[in-house]
């Protein structure tokens, strides 16, 4: 947004100030989000009184959904900042509302100039066209951000997806090697997931995965990472966690899942996790070995009757 304001203020020597305001539907007062001035040390460097006046003008333009031209010298709302207006030689202003990327919001662009009758001579059309361009650019920015989120997060659980989790694992591994630190991996699998889907339907299966994600968010430590590896499998990355600490965290996660069954039509549907644990560097010196060994621990947990934690040991491969 600041870049958009900079372009406009650089387009004319008469434009002294450009400010953007965002207003919610329902008549709430607009919030200033960005301001750019011709000179960084001008008289409006710190002027909350002027900003309050511009807020009311932005709200009027947004409420009417129409461009508004105003003259500070003849507008009673500027009475408290009249001396600043005269010092800055501001003669006229315009407020142009336009649609924000979020349909529930509107953005109003307020422009102040130092020449009288400027918007009559130049016309409002260039500013309206620029406001439309700003709307398009902001929409494209929001879409790119959403695409980036889709590439990073699992849409069902909100956790990191496999690709993003692999990038985090790479960073944590490099950090551990460089600073002679340790970390641990948990390979988690929701037991009998196919049975849940077959018995209660995929909607309940989705709720089960979402429940695991919420529980893990509470159980894991600040700084730990969790992502959906695929299907009903989750991987947790525990920086600086020793072998014993990793197993304790895994047991807490398993216990908490066991204690929070799903409610399906007033019926409790129990969930259990099987978890495999592998630790760097004792269980492997490279990422691939750690993943393989954590998966081996998970397989051992499954073979031990599920709903348990097993740490990798030689011979489980």
- Return the active site residues: 232
Query: Cα(228)–Cα(162) distance, rounded to whole angstroms?
Result: 6
Give the dihedral sign, CA 238/242/245/247. Answer: positive
Query: Cα(157)–Cα(83) distance, rounded to whole angstroms?
Result: 57
Query: Cα(18)–Cα(198) distance, rounded to whole angstroms?
Result: 60
Q: Which helix (H) or strand (E) segment is 274 a member of?
A: strand 273-280
Give Cβ neighbours of residue 12 (< 8 Å, ≥ 6 apart): 113
Query: Cα(60)–Cα(97) distance, rounded to whole angstroms?
Result: 10
SS3 call for 76: helix
Contact, 258 vs 219, CB < 8 A? no
């Amino acid at each position: 947004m600041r870049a958009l304001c900079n372009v406009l203020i650089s387009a004319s020597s008469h434009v002294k100030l450009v400010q953007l305001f965002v207003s919610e539907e329902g008549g709430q007062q607009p919030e200033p989000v960005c301001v750019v001035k011709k000179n960084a040390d001008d008289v409006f460097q710190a002027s909350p009184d002027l900003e309050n006046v511009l807020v009311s003008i932005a709200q009027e333009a947004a409420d009417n959904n129409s461009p508004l031209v105003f003259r500070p010298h003849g507008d009673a709302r500027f009475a408290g900042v009249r001396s600043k207006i005269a010092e800055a030689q501001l003669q006229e202003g315009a407020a142009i509302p336009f649609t924000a990327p979020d349909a529930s919001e509107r953005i109003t662009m307020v422009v102040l100039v130092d020449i009288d009758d400027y918007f009559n001579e130049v016309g409002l059309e260039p500013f309206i066209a620029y406001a439309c361009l700003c709307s398009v650019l902001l929409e494209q920015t929001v879409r790119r951000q959403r695409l980036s989120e889709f590439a990073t997060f699992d849409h069902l659980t909100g956790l990191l997806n496999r690709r993003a989790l692999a990038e985090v694992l790479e960073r944590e591994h490099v950090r551990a090697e460089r600073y002679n630190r340790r970390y641990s991996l948990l390979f988690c699998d929701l037991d009998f997931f196919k049975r849940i889907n077959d018995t209660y339907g995929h909607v309940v299966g989705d709720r089960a995965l979402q429940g695991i994600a919420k529980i893990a968010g509470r159980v894991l430590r600040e700084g730990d990472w969790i992502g959906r590896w695929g299907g009903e499998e989750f991987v947790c990355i525990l920086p600086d966690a020793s072998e014993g600490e990793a197993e304790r965290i895994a047991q807490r996660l398993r216990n908490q899942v066991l204690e929070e069954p799903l409610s399906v039509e007033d019926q409790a549907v129990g969930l259990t996790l099987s978890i495999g644990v592998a630790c760097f560097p004792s269980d492997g010196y490279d990422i691939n070995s750690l993943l393989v060994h954590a998966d081996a621990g998970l397989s051992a947990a499954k073979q031990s009757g599920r709903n348990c934690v097993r740490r990798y040991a030689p011979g489980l491969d």
